Structure 1
């Protein structure tokens, strides 16, 4: 396989056809068609089903797309490393929803001013899924909640978050009986803060009556403020939303659960100037308890 063939294949897949792929690649349609058939012959599988002028991706096409993404990304990384150390090219960053909302905006704005040649793409999600995407090559790096133990990853602590239990504005710290009878509001099971909350409850022998999964912190805080249930959130997120924070109450957790490091993770032995520049900025701006700066820590 040639990298050029993979680029053509991805363009056809992403543009849903030969015509738009040819326009995107500035090639004639016959060249795109020929190179695509050559790739299929090399692989010995059909990547698309032909129905008239329509191309329908096969299961093999989606499998190949995962490898193509990683190979092309690695080739781009190699090109950048051989060219110079100036940040440029594409940087695919993942981040937890809370980090993106409370922390990243000023950092990314400054990053774009400093490094206009970098095309930065941001994807938000839960820590478990973001970590898997870094390991699979779908992301170059991600900001996830620790601790995290995986020898395949390089990790830098860029923030330490204070995690608090959030309830209605007039609600005192809930008793065990109230916790057992409460509705818990959380992201999906891959969310590290949800896992922290469930661990805390298990320690106390509490099984919550109901867990409602929500897709955004704005929705979660609105539901908490209306008395629907309880949630576990970073205090920094509340600080970034003062109007919402005024409508809820916060309650501390045990010391071993109240502090959560935010890690910038990437694959071991990867060198990417654009990512290194971002890591340096995060460490310069690092957060501990909202106001003070953490020492750079590599684990």
Structure 2
């Protein structure tokens, strides 16, 4: 390979979108989930991966049926791709002016987006009109992956936080509570546990807290129903379908909240922190501005 070919190859490696697709396929374990995460059709993701393999003249994945297994070359590229994407984000942040401007891609858990963020984001929009806010909701696992892949700039997630990968601040403290219909028997250390629970998908911190509570009691729910929103969950609780664990702050937004019965968890589990996280060492002006607003709001309360 001559110098010109090497230069072209180097420039092609800097196709950040191609690297983001490759990283998403690795982190999601396949084309289908990566396409969903990237909001692309599967054929496009497959084509971009094959183009990257052809361009580098290496096999990045071994294909076993529908499964993709990372090759040795793929593992090497994955390490470099993560560093290149992080460096690109750092370069973008360094080139920005001190005044926040441009697109700000923020991730958040649904409960936080619905209940906690409207006021601080309203303040943010008034202070920094040159910023365009874009919101993505999801569970902490998916949001952390999106942050590492450079798809969002910051995220609001529940503890625990991977401190080696992210900088963070405590943004909010929530009290998770179990809610049932009013005619449900008391729930306590010596009482029966609900037979049916209403939860979000795996990865939801409130679902994890509920599962831990059952495990401490050496019990398991007989039936678990997954739902996609807190208001749908509370509506089902109201009908007596089952119990749910939700942040107490969410209940205040539910029109029929007075018809719900609230059961507090043991004292050791009565608090759950929500963190604002961003990539280690990459605090852009937009991230710093939201951080200041959240910290001021927390101090005021």
Query: Aligned residue for 1:263?
Result: 275
**Structure 1 residue 154: deviation in Å?**
1.0
Whole-Å Cα distance in 2 between the matches of residues 164 and 184 of structure 1? Answer: 13
Shift of residue 169 of structure 1? Answer: 2.3
3-state secondary structure, aligned to 2:175: strand
Residues 94-243 of structure 1: pairs in structure 2 closer than 5 A: 94-174=107-187, 178-179=192-193, 182-241=195-254, 243=255
Aligned residue in 2 for 1:253: 265
Query: Any conservation in 2 of the 1:80–1:88 contact (CA below 8 Å)?
Result: no
**Alpha-carbon distance in 1 for matches of 2:289, 2:275:** 16
**CA distance in structure 1 between the partners assigned to 2:226 and 2:191 by the alignment:** 22
CA distance in 1, matches of 2:120, 2:177: 24
CA contact (8 A) 2:100 2:286 kept: yes
Change in CA separation of 1:79 and 1:128 when aligned onto 2, cut-off 3 Å: closer
Q: Is the 8 A contact 2:96 2:285 kept in 1?
A: no
Do the aligned partners of residues 71 and 284 (structure 1) sit closer, same or farther apart at CA in structure 2, a change above 3 Å counting? same
Partners of 1:162 and 1:121 in 2: how far apart? 27
TM-score (norm 1): 0.72
The CA deviation at 1:147 is 3.1
Deviation at 1:255, TM superposition (A): 1.2
Deviation of 1:136 (Å): 2.9
Say which SS state the counterpart of residue 137 (structure 1) adopts. Answer: coil
**In angstroms, what is the RMSD of aligned CA positions?**
3.5
Which SS does the other structure have where 1:264 is aligned?
A: strand
Could you state the TM-score of these two structures normalised by the residue count of structure 2? Answer: 0.71
Give 1:202 deviation, angstroms.
0.7
| 2:293 is the counterpart of 1:281 | yes
**Unpaired runs of 5+ in structure 1?**
17-37, 46-62, 294-299
Describe the SS at the equivalent of 1:81.
helix
Indicate the SS of the match to 1:286. Answer: helix
In the TM superposition, residue 173 of structure 1 has moved relative to its aligned partner by 2.2
Partner of 2:187, secondary structure, is coil
Query: How many residue pairs align between the two structures?
Result: 253
Task: Tell me, yes or no, if the aligned pair for 2:166 and 2:280 is still in contact at 8 Å.
Answer: yes
